[in-house]
Amino acid sequence: MLKALVCDIDGTLTDTQRRVDTGAIGCIRKLVDRGVEVVLASGNTSCFMDALCRMIGTSGTFIAENGGVYRIGFDGSLHLDGDQSRCWEAFRILETHFRERGTSLQLYSDRYRFTDLAFGRTVSAKEVKEVLSGMPIKIVDTGYAIHLQVPEVNKGTALVRLAPEIGLSSDDFLAIGDSVNDLEMLSEAGTGVAVANANPRARDIADWVTQKKYGEGVVEAIQKYWSTFSKDIDQPRYSP
């Protein structure tokens, strides 16, 4: 019996323009109102995730920085996992490499990041991997940014660490995602679902792939796995 949902944001809960799907918001609110724990998981910053939790109306528990940060509830403190100095070291090497090629790298919201680094996709992720080959650093191209992170941290490790803090195990979770940075989360969760637009590797590792894309896929998955809510969720009250 699935007791909780952990859901990726970009490419999963959002549409092609990175806007959160309002149908999926309505559906998640139904789950929350019925006492199902909903954890939002992303490569974005903890500050961004706090805003998202408030806007959507969850209990405030999130995974940020691709697993480098998690928080339990709105009043929880940030749990950090991952040595950012190793990411900075790798980033300086990349800066030097690409500067010689006439390209400068654009860091994303580094002021708000504590364990990983993210920069714009103005350079090839393949070349980034070549430059950093042999270094103990993970390069993740989420399709929205290129992230540098210590290899031993991901959304799956964060899920395993946070679940007991809310009285659950990772087996109790339905995970929904679309990208390579969701792989460990999809396999650690009791059930992993990929939305129809997902990366082939995410589709391969998932227990089930939705027919619909993006937020509509999230709604489809929630309806399937929490079928007792289906009728109600089918017609969300859009203006609460």
Using DSSP's 3-state secondary structure scheme, residue 40 falls into strand
State yes or no: residue 88 binds a second copy (CB under 8 A).
Answer: no
Name which of 82 and 236 has its Cβ closer to a second copy. 236
Site residues for a second copy, 24-43, by CB under 8 A, read: 24-26, 29
State yes or no: residue 15 binds a second copy (CB under 8 A).
Answer: yes
Respond yes or no: is residue 81 known to be catalytic.
Answer: no
d(CA 239, CA 220): 21
Structure tokens at 218: 């999230």
CA distance to 30, 56, 154, per residue, from 235 (Å):
10, 17, 35
Query: Minimum CB separation from a second copy for residue 216, in Å?
Result: 6
Using DSSP's 3-state secondary structure scheme, residue 43 falls into coil
Strands 69-71, 62-64: pairing kind? antiparallel
Query: Minimum CB separation from a second copy for residue 5, in Å?
Result: 17
d(CA 52, CA 56): 6
Site residues for a second copy, 213-232, by CB under 8 A, read: 215-216, 219
Asked if 116 and 68 count as a contact pair (C-beta separation under 8 A), the reply is yes
Using DSSP's 3-state secondary structure scheme, residue 14 falls into strand
Interface residue with a second copy among 3, 30, 36, 50 (CB under 8 A) is 50
Binding flags for a second copy, 178-217, as an x/- string (CB under 8 A): -------------------------------------xx-
Chain residues in the site for a second copy (CB under 8 A): 14-15, 17-26, 29, 44-45, 47-48, 50-52, 54-57, 109, 112, 215-216, 219, 236, 238-240
Catalytic residues: 8
